[in-house]
């Protein structure tokens, strides 16, 4: 079955999507590309503003929030009213978090990585499982809607992480 | 036209489940708590992850050294995973897959449940042991079906039965603290429901401090994912969340 998947996906792409030069101007979805480097280092950085807010997680006196595809904001929540960011763990293409006994599991590119959080201001990478999630960050070939016009993604521009609705002079894709 | 049974989180279970009454406490200390839109979840000594098609199982008895156990093919367009008792609920855009964790290293598929069509055909039954809440989000351009908060009887976990629904605009994640349910309705705010009578959620109020996507009730704090960051509320009085701070 697994071997069939690429073929099935190809099929669904063919049946789901129409490309044409004839669609009139009008509202259409435009791809948003990830401004993330696959090769950017995994490292702790000073606290910084959230760019694209992602998933949240709670562990003891800490809260965590993914910055979509960029990393994890670590927040000291010991005094909730005074909760504040204490750092940013840069992890390219990170989207997920789970924590057990001071070990944080997340995804880095296609890998699973494990950090020791004993000192949350300086998480230590302790384990990497290569290619654990090859399909986690699947490129969004089309907007998550049906019967809509959209600008065809350009793979050369990188990974599509979102879609925004705009007026497009000549949207070439339809789903 | 397709109904997106998104964020579908089946989650949030009350009734006989002891964890409901423990929700004021940090759960166990050793394991953290995620939101209802997660693709990673920890149950017992195992970490379960879902990508678009597959469920993967890792043993984490030694937390620093996850050991890959197996991959189970689930379906298409998988979005979320949530553990409850000895089950995993895996939400996709169209259906909830229910797996048994009787052998936690080897999840076995029990059933597929809750396509919207099936839900609407369900006859109400009388039972109050266990309840699950889900948000069913339709999308504007092709929807036509009302987005709702749905309430299910899951006494027979393989055959959930819808018991109630409440119309919402664009609901995503949800979570509960004791007898209060919080539902994220994006731009419409955070909806607060009294669920003392779990099968008849009563709307209490809505908080309009942001565009709400997901929540984690954690001790006396409600951690909210909003469009531009995070908002924290004090929920010592869980029906009337008090704004604490915003982290952007």
Per-residue pLDDT of chain B (248 residues; tens, 9 = 90+): 233 333 333 334 333 333 333 333 444 458 998 988 889 999 999 999 998 889 999 999 999 999 999 999 998 778 788 887 788 888 776 677 888 999 999 999 987 755 443 333 222 111 224 788 877 776 543 344 677 888 888 778 777 788 888 988 888 888 888 889 999 999 999 999 999 998 899 999 999 999 999 999 999 999 999 999 999 999 999 999 999 999 99
Beta bridge partners of B81: B90
Q: Which of B2, B65, B230 sits opposite A63 (nearest CB)?
A: B230
Is A1 inside a domain boundary? no
Contact, B135 vs B7, CB < 8 A?
Answer: yes
In a domain, B1, yes or no: no
| Min Cα–Cα distance to chain B from A172, Å | 18
A28 and A56 in a common domain: no
Nearest CA in chain A to B60: A100
B247 at the A interface (CB within 8 A)?
Answer: yes
A26, A51, A56: which to substitute to probe chain B, counting the most B Cβ within 10 Å?
A56
Q: Which two tokens stand for residue B136?
A: 């069913």
Chain B partners within 8 Å of A138 (Cβ): 51-52
Helix residue ranges, H only, chain B? 18-21, 116-121
Q: Which pLDDT value is given to residue B11? A: 39
Q: A72 with A123, same domain?
A: yes
Mark yes or no for CB contact A83/B139 under 8 Å: no
B2 within some domain: no
Q: pLDDT-based confidence at A140, cuts 50/70/90?
A: low
| Total structural domains within chain B | 1
For the record, the structure tokens of A1 come out as 């079955």
Whether residue A99 sits in one domain with residue A27: no
How many whole angstroms separate alpha carbon B233 and alpha carbon A55? Answer: 17
Same domain, A119 and A87: yes
Q: Which long-range contacts (CB under 8 A, 24 or more apart) does B68-71 make?
A: B68/A129, B68/A132, B69/B105, B69/B106, B70/B105, B70/B106
Regarding whether A163 and A123 lie in a shared domain, the answer is no
Please tell me the distance from the alpha carbon of residue B40 to that of residue B56, in angstroms, as a whole number: 10
Residues A96 and A145 in one domain: no
CA distance B87 to A65: 27
**pLDDT, greater one: A98 or A36:** A98
**pLDDT tens sequence across A62-84:** 999 999 999 999 999 998 789 99
Question: Is pLDDT larger for residue A149 or for residue A155?
Answer: A149
Cβ–Cβ contact B146 with A under 8 A: no
Query: Does A4 reside within a domain?
Result: no
Closest CB from B63, B65, B227 relative to A53? B227
Question: Any idea which residue has 């010991």 for tokens?
Answer: A78
Shortest alpha-carbon distance between residue A43 and chain B (Å): 19
- A135 to B230: CB separation less than 8 angstroms, yes or no: no
ipTM computed for the complex: 0.84
Q: CATH no. for residue B38? A: 2.130.10.10
Residue B153 vs residues A81, A82, B9, B112, B228: alpha-carbon distances, Å: 37, 40, 14, 15, 35
Q: Which residues contact B167 (CB under 8 A, 6 or more apart)?
A: B146, B147, B148
Asked if residue A92 belongs to a domain, the reply is yes
Tell me, yes or no, whether A77 lies in a domain.
Answer: yes
Q: Which domain range does residue B128 map to?
A: 11-247
Residue A136: its pLDDT value, please?
A: 64
- Token pair for A160: 């599509």
| Residue A12 lies inside a defined structural domain of this protein | no
Taking CB atoms and an 8 Å cutoff, what residues of chain A touch B31? 99-101
Instruction: Answer whether residue B191 is part of any domain.
Output: yes
> Is B5 inside a domain boundary?
no
Tell me whether residue A5 is in a domain: no
Q: DSSP class of residue A12?
A: H
Measure the CA–CA gap between B37 and B59, rounded to whole angstroms: 22
pLDDT tens for each residue of A19-59: 555 566 777 888 887 777 778 999 999 999 999 999 999 99
Q: Does the residue A10 lie in any domain?
A: no
In a domain, B34, yes or no: yes
A52: closest chain B residue by CA: B228
What is the pLDDT, as a whole number, of residue A5? 35
> pTM of the full predicted structure?
0.80
> What residues of chain B, 91 to 110, have a C-beta less than 8 Å from chain A?
93
Q: Find, in chain B, the residue whose alpha carbon is nearest to that of A110.
A: B51
Tokens 């997106």, located at residue: B4
Domain that holds residue A24: 19-35+136-174
CA distance A144 to chain B (A): 9
pLDDT at A27: 79
| Same domain (yes/no): A97, A170 | no
- The verdict on A106 and A149 lying in the same domain is no
Which positions in chain A touch B218 (Cβ < 8 Å)? 58, 63
Query: Does one domain contain both A124 and A146?
Result: no
Contact A95 B63 (CB under 8 A): no
Kindly state the greatest CA–CA separation across chain A: 59
Tell me the nearest-neighbour CA distance from A81 into chain B, angstroms.
Answer: 5
Domain identity same for A52 and A116: yes
| The predicted structure's pLDDT at residue B235 | 97
pLDDT score at B178: 85
Domains in chain A, number:
2
Residue A2, domain member (yes or no): no
């Amino acid at each position: 079955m697994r071997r069939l998947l690429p073929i099935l996906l190809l099929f669904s792409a063919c049946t789901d999507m129409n490309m044409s030069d004839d669609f009139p101007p009008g509202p259409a979805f435009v791809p948003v590309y990830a401004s993330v480097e696959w090769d950017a280092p995994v490292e702790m950085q000073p606290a910084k503003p959230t760019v694209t807010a992602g998933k949240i997680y709670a562990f003891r006196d800490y809260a965590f929030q993914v910055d979509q595809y960029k990393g994890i904001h670590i927040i000291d929540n010991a005094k909730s009213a005074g909760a504040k960011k204490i750092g940013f763990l840069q992890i390219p293409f990170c989207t997920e978090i789970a924590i057990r006994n001071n070990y944080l599991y997340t995804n880095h590119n296609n890998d699973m990585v494990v950090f020791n959080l004993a000192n949350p201001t300086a998480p230590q990478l302790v384990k990497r499982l290569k290619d654990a999630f090859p399909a986690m960050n699947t490129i969004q070939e089309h907007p998550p809607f049906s019967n809509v016009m959209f600008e065809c993604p350009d793979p050369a521009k990188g990974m599509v992480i979102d879609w925004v609705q705009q007026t497009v002079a000549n949207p070439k894709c339809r789903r | 036209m397709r109904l997106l049974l998104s964020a579908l989180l089946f989650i949030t279970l009350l009734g006989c489940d002891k964890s409901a009454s423990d929700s004021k406490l940090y759960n166990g200390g050793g394991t953290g708590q995620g939101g209802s839109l997660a693709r990673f979840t920890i149950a017992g000594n195992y970490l379960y992850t879902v990508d678009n098609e597959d469920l993967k199982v890792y043993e984490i008895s030694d937390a620093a050294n996850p050991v890959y156990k197996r991959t189970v093919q689930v379906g298409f367009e998988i979005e979320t995973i949530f553990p409850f008792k000895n089950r995993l609920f895996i939400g996709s855009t169209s259906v909830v897959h229910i797996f048994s964790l009787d052998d936690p290293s080897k999840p076995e598929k029990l059933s597929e449940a809750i396509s919207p069509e099936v839900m609407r055909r369900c006859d109400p039954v009388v039972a109050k042991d266990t309840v699950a809440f889900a948000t069913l989000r339709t999308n504007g351009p092709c929807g036509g079906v009302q987005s709702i908060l749905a309430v299910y009887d899951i006494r027979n976990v393989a055959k959930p039965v819808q018991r109630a629904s409440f119309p919402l605009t664009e609901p995503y994640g949800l979570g509960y603290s004791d007898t209060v349910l919080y539902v994220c309705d994006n731009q419409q705010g955070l909806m607060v429901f009294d669920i003392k009578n779990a099968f008849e959620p009563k709307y209490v109020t809505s908080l309009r401090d942001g565009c709400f996507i997901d929540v984690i009730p954690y001790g006396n704090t409600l951690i909210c994912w909003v469009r531009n960051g995070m908002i924290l509320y004090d929920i010592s009085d869980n029906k009337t969340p008090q704004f604490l701070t915003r982290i952007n």
